[in-house]
Amino acid sequence: MNCYSLPKLVAIIFLVWLLSCDSKTETRAALIKMPEVKAMETDGPNIIYEETMEGAEPFSKARAKETGSWDYALQIADKPVFEGKKSARFEIRKDQPLIENGKRSEVVIVNGALGDITPDCWYSFAVLFPTVGYEFDSEREVINQWYQKGSPATSLRTQKDRFLLESGNTLEEREKYDLGPITKDVWHQFVLHFIHSNNSDGLIEIWHNGEKVLTRHGGNMYKDIMPKWKLGLYKAAFKTENSIVYKRIIYFDNIKVGNSRATYDEMVPATDKK
C-alpha cells in the first residue's frame, strides 16, 4: 500500500484548503450586488453629460427614469423643438398612479452619490411651457430638483406662471426666490452654476435667456450625500388633489452638465450663441 510522506500530505491538505477558500470568496463576491455605474456622455473636455434628443436612444446615459409605464409620461416629440428635430415631452396627470410615492415624470440625469459630479458644477437646458397643457395654477410644481432625501433642499419650481427657486441647507431654512414670469409657447434657456455645500461657501448662479437673474451664497444642500439632479415634472398638489388643473405638459431640449472647469459659454443650450 502506497502512502504519502508527511510533507507531501501537508502540501495536499493546504492546497485543498486554499481552493476551498477561493471558492467561498467567489460565492460571497457573487452575493454582493454592486451599484451599476454607466459611462457618462462626454461631448467636450468640460461637458460630462449632454442630451439633444437627436440620437437613437434619448436619455440612455441618464441614471434612471421615474416615468412609469404609460405612454404619455415621456415621449420624444418632433415639435416644438429648440434645435435639431426632436425634443423631450413630459406629462403628468392628476389621476395617474404614484411613482416613488408621488405624481411625477422625471429623469435622473446625474447622481452625485455615484461620483458623477463634484461640488462645483454646471447645469443647463432649454424648456417650453405650452399654453394648452400648462395653464395657470396657484399650486406649485417642480421642474428641476437636486434630490437627496425627502423634500429637496434646492429645486426650480413654477407657481402662478412664474419661475421660483427654493434653496436652503435645512427644510426650515429654505428660502424662495422669484426668477420672473413664464412666457408660454416659447423656449426658455437656463444656465445654473452650483457649488453644492451645506455651509456658507455654497453658491448658486442662474442665467435665464442670457440674463443673470440670481446669485445666492450659502448652504444649498442637506448635510448628506451629494444630490442627484432630476428633471421633468413633479406635482405634490396632484396627490392631495388641491390643484384646479388636470394635467401638466412640458418640453425639454439640449440638456447639459458641466464640470468645475466649464464656462457659461460652453453651457448655453443654444449652439448659435450670437
Q: pLDDT value at position 4? A: 41
Q: Which of 273, 228, 233 is nearest to 49 (CA)?
A: 228
The 3-state secondary structure of 132-168 reads: CCCCCCCCCEEEEEEECCCCCCEEEEEECCEEEEEEC
> In terms of C-beta distances under 8 Å and separation of at least 24 residues, what long-range contacts does 10-13 make, across chains too?
none
According to the model, what pLDDT value does residue 21 have? Answer: 42
Q: Is the pLDDT of residue 29 over 60?
A: no
pLDDT at residue 144 greater than cutoff 70: yes
Tens digits of residue pLDDT in 67-104: 999 999 999 999 999 999 999 999 999 999 999 999 99
Q: How does the average pLDDT of the chain come out, rounded?
A: 87
Q: What would the grid cell of residue 151 be?
A: 423634500
Residue 236 has pLDDT above 50, yes or no: yes
Which residue stretches of the chain are H helix? 6-31, 236-240, 264-267
Cα Rg of the chain (Å, integer): 24
Cα–Cα distance between 252 and 86 in angstroms, integer?
Answer: 10
What pTM did the predictor assign?
0.83
Identity of the amino acid at 229: W
| pLDDT: which is higher, 25 or 205 | 205
For range 54-67, the mean pLDDT: 97
In order of start, what are the domains of the chain with their CATH numbers? 47-267 (2.60.120.200)
- The listed range with the strongest mean pLDDT (10-14, 34-38, 113-117) is 113-117
pLDDT at 14: 43
Q: What was the pLDDT predicted at 214?
A: 98
Note the Cα 48 to chain centre separation in Å.
13
Neighbours of 213 (CB within 10 A): 16
